[in-house]
Amino acid sequence: MTAEETLSEPRATEASPRPTRAELAAAAGKAVADVTAPGLRVLFCGINPGLYSAATGHHFARPGNRFWPVLYKSGFTDRLLHPSEQEQLLRLGLGITNVVERATARAEELTREELVAGARPLAAKVTTLRPGWLAVVGLTAYRIAFANPRATMGPQDVMIGGTPVWVLPNPSGLNASWTTPRLVEAFRQLQEASQRS
């Protein structure tokens, strides 16, 4: 992230203290509860919770993760939400889940088998909830979990339980090849498509 991008980021109010090193270590393997409801406009699907998210109980909670600023800048939310406000997404027709429930320090710690196994309950969840779009946030995880090695960013040519699938780039600060403006544009395309459907 460039200095210019950092300065231009909107700020959400810090709603809770940062977890301690011991709390982060204790969060390994924990899950973060889904933010879901039937008939959402978009159900965002992360790869798996990070330790910071598992320690706080909030999705995409680690400082430096660009999910919440990008959600705001792309027009999904009318203000920058703090991760602790994740339940506010439901009134906007948005939700969050994960491919794998187990929290890790990095997504690379997950095995291929875990990603493939995670696709089954995710598909069942989508079939039950029937969102307008399933937005998987992470191309490599999507390719592995759904055995689609040639998938690219954007809308996919498959449906899960009658729900169309859209793949978005991972907004982690570690994904340096995707600048914040590029992320915003990728999310904006889904935002516009979800408004039309």
Would you give the end-to-end CA distance of the chain in angstroms?
A: 33
pLDDT exceeds 90 at position 133? yes
Tens digit of pLDDT for each residue in 159-182?
998 999 999 999 998 888 899 999
- Determine, yes or no, domain membership for 101: yes
Mean pLDDT of 15-26: 88
- Determine, yes or no, domain membership for 15: no
What is residue 135's three-state secondary structure? strand
pLDDT exceeds 80 at position 7? no
pLDDT exceeds 60 at position 11? no
Decide if 114 contacts 100 (C-beta within 8 A): yes
pLDDT exceeds 60 at position 156? yes
Number of domains in the chain: 1
- Determine, yes or no, domain membership for 181: yes
pLDDT exceeds 90 at position 147? yes
pLDDT exceeds 60 at position 8? no
Give the global pTM. Answer: 0.91
Q: Residue 15's pLDDT is what?
A: 56
Burial (CB count within 10 angstroms: exposed 0-12, middle 13-18, buried 19+), residue 47: buried
Q: How far apart are CA 79 and CA 55, in angstroms?
A: 25
Domain of residue 174 covers: 32-196
Q: Any idea what the CATH number is for the domain that residue 173 is in?
A: 3.40.470.10
Tens digit of pLDDT for each residue in 46-81?
999 999 999 999 999 999 999 999 999 999 999 999
Can you say whether the dihedral through the CA atoms of 9, 192, 45, 165 is positive or negative?
A: negative
Question: Which DSSP category does 89 fall into?
Answer: G
Mean pLDDT of 183-190: 98
Number of other residues whose CB lies within 10 A of the CB of residue 162: 8
Tens digit of pLDDT for each residue in 102-122?
999 999 999 999 999 999 999
What pLDDT band is residue 93 in, cutting at 50, 70 and 90?
very high
- Determine, yes or no, domain membership for 92: yes
- Determine, yes or no, domain membership for 12: no
Q: Residue 17's pLDDT is what?
A: 82
Decide if 133 contacts 44 (C-beta within 8 A): no
